[in-house]
Structure 1
Amino acid sequence: MRNGPDIARIANLVGDPARANMLTALMDGGALTASELALEAGVTVQTASSHLSKLMEGGLLSLAAQGRHRYYGLANAQVASMLESIMGVAEAAGPQRVRPGPRDATMREARICYDHLAGDQAVAMLDGFLARNILTRDGDRIAMGEVGPSFFRAIGIEPDTLKKSRRPLCRACLDWSVRRSHLAGSLGAAIFDKIVAERWARREANSRAVVFSPTGRRAFEKTFFG
């Protein structure tokens, strides 16, 4: 066996259909109970508990207790990024596992990926940042550009505060529907928080889709596309 990370172990955890459904259900950054995840996976609560134990042991989930309830969520943004990348490979390789529907176009345009914006709008936003030197890119590494700090401070996002987080300030996340990168990291999360705080967009019920209002879309594009 070669030295290095045991990718087979992680692949085995993610590769089970029931566990894959559970992990996908948590891609919105929320937390669900074992009963709720059992419904998502289409298995009994007892079976779901067994799967959840394995995911916890594998470091893919976190657990929080609130009263009598126990809530499961993705362990961190790195796990979400891994899942988003796998979705991109699955999308390219096909076939589709789910039935297409009206949500598909909305999901591709804008959706939440753990705690940041993904989809066509997010990819276009990152492209604009790079073109205007707000951010720079060297391979897979994204960094603050020369005009970045002043740009973000002008719209109420303080980069120096974000740098104090344990998370990377900027990180490329491979977008499954576009198969190009959108912006993750603490900066990506701060941008999504601003979108929500300004009420430019809303989360679609029971979905990761993010829907912009007409005025919200104009405000979003004016702020981030210049």
Structure 2
Amino acid sequence: MSGGDADIARTAALFADPARVRVLTALADGRALAASVLAAEAGLTAQGASAHLAKLREAGLVEAERSGRHRFYRLRPEGVEILETLARFSPARPITSLKEGTRAQALRFARTCYDHLAGRLGVEVTAALVGRGALIATDGVAGTGRRPGDRLSAPTATHPHALGPAADAVFASLGLDLARVNGTRRKRPLLKFCLDWSEQRHHLAGALGAALAAHFLERGWVVRSQPGHRALKLTGSGADALAAHLAVRLAA
């Protein structure tokens, strides 16, 4: 049967669970994230995140996309609209612990992806290299956003960027000798790119990406948050260097 009143209570109940709201909030910026990543950002077990995602998919608020062996979840426009409307009428949630979300936030901000820079730091540096002519698009698409066919959280199948006319000058301003990096014997290509899982934009990988990350660490522009941990912290000198040489302004 159809034609009855809208079941508002049923939909509202989806937003009444704090853990489920954390899942929705993690997706609110348009990213498509794996269940394991959502679990980490929402402070849930993998089973708990999967249960919440199943309910949200059933309600039509979240959609899934398979990429390789993984399934990524994205908030549908209807879910964004409801979440934004509720946010306008909701008070600020008090912070009860300094540790809430800090690990997930640190990984999103800056981390190593194998041996190159990732997270917001990685994609901002890559975008700045494109903006300053150190890298140029090879596919005619402006910017460093996801291209058709790009797999989520994976190296790009093709090379969307090549060295640009200002490459030597820009990398030299950072203190990196591009000719030396390019001339070093290696088994990997100079340029590769990954679609960053947390930012959904390209970050620089390959031999040049590894050399750049190593250079940032040697200069003390970034430091490991903990020994052996992937998360990085941007230092004050690093923030100053990024602003001076790449016009990237990120808070240390």
Structural RMSD (CA) = 2.5
Q: Does 1:199 align with 2:199?
A: no
How far has the Cα of 1:181 moved from its partner? 0.7
Whole-angstrom distance in 1 between the partners of 2:221 and 2:238: 4
Equivalent residue for 1:174? 195
Based on CA coordinates, which of the two structures has the bigger radius of gyration? 2
Equivalent residue for 2:61? none
Q: Does 1:150 align with 2:172?
A: no
Structure 2 counterpart of 1:188, one-letter code: G
Unaligned runs of 5+ in 1: 1-88
Equivalent residue for 2:236? 214
Which stretch of structure 1 is more off in the superposition, 130-139 or 147-156?
147-156
CA spacing shift, 1:99–1:187, aligned 2, 3 Å: closer
Equivalent residue for 1:98? 40
Contact 2:132/2:170, CA 8 A, preserved across alignment: no
How far has the Cα of 1:95 moved from its partner? 7.5
Map residues 59-208 of structure 1 onto 2, 5 A cutoff. 91=33, 96-98=38-40, 100=42, 102-139=102-139, 140-163=159-182, 164-205=185-226, 207-208=229-230
Structure 2 counterpart of 1:91, one-letter code: L
Unaligned runs of 5+ in 2: 1-30, 44-101, 140-158
Secondary structure at the aligned position of 1:182 is classed as strand
How far has the Cα of 1:108 moved from its partner? 0.6
CA spacing shift, 1:150–1:91, aligned 2, 3 Å: same
Contact 1:125/1:225, CA 8 A, preserved across alignment: no
Secondary structure at the aligned position of 2:229 is classed as coil
Equivalent residue for 1:18? none
How many residues are treated as equivalent by the alignment?
138
Deviations 1:81-107 (A, max 9, x none): xxxxxxxx9715677343646111111
TM-score (norm 1): 0.54
Identity of aligned residues (%): 33
Whole-angstrom distance in 2 between the partners of 1:149 and 1:92: 38
Structure 1 counterpart of 2:33, one-letter code: E
Q: Which has the higher helix share?
A: 1
Whole-angstrom distance in 2 between the partners of 1:99 and 1:179: 16
Contact 1:195/1:220, CA 8 A, preserved across alignment: no
Whole-angstrom distance in 2 between the partners of 1:141 and 1:113: 18
CA spacing shift, 1:158–1:95, aligned 2, 3 Å: closer
